[in-house]
Amino acid sequence: MHRAPAAVLDTNVVLDWLLFRDARSAALQAALEAGAVRWLACERMREEFRRVLARPALGRWLPSGDWRKRLLHAFDERADAQAEPPPAPAALRCDDPDDQVFVDLALASGARWLVSRDKAVLRLRRHATRHGLHIVDPGGWVFADAQAAG
């Protein structure tokens, strides 16, 4: 059975997809929703997502009902849960320790992409390609690239 290529998404990219429906990441969103790309996440990523959802500022986007619970449910339903990853090689250490887990999981799982808007993560692009990992921003991710790589 052929498994779709995998991507790790940082928290802001997940919010852009599941909450904001950001048009800049439409190609990525379409591939994820069609199952053409698998989204990998671990428990630390889910916990960060939960903490971010608890911020009062997000309440203005979907103020009615228990939307935080619905978004956590969407995370659980759509993410391919992975074990906590070991640390990445020293050459791929992120300046922001909170973002390191995304790099670690992408490398440990053999994900093809790490999709992020975070500057500290994006600075690792060149070093990551040496490990077979493509770090891209959501607007730079192109479905044709996913098809060619798969």
Asked if residues 39 and 3 have their Cβ atoms less than 8 Å apart, the reply is no
Q: How far is CA 64 from CA 14, 135, 136, in A?
A: 20, 35, 33
- Tell me what pLDDT residue 3 has: 86
Q: Is the pLDDT reported for residue 147 higher than 50?
A: no
Domain ranges of the chain: 6-149
Q: Is the pLDDT reported for residue 146 higher than 70?
A: no
In which band, very low, low, confident or very high, does the pLDDT at 43 lie, cut at 50, 70 and 90? very high
User: Stretch 34-52: mean pLDDT, rounded?
Assistant: 96
Give the percent of the chain with pLDDT over 90: 69
For the stretch 79-111, pLDDT in tens is: 999 999 998 877 789 999 999 999 999 999 999
- Tell me what pLDDT residue 91 has: 77
3-state secondary structure 39-99: EEECHHHHHHHHHHHCCHHHHHCCCCCCHHHHHHHHHHHHCEECCCCCCCCHHHCCCCHHH
For the stretch 127-136, pLDDT in tens is: 999 999 999 9
In which band, very low, low, confident or very high, does the pLDDT at 144 lie, cut at 50, 70 and 90? very low
User: Stretch 103-132: mean pLDDT, rounded?
Assistant: 95
Domain at 6-149: CATH code: 3.40.50.1010
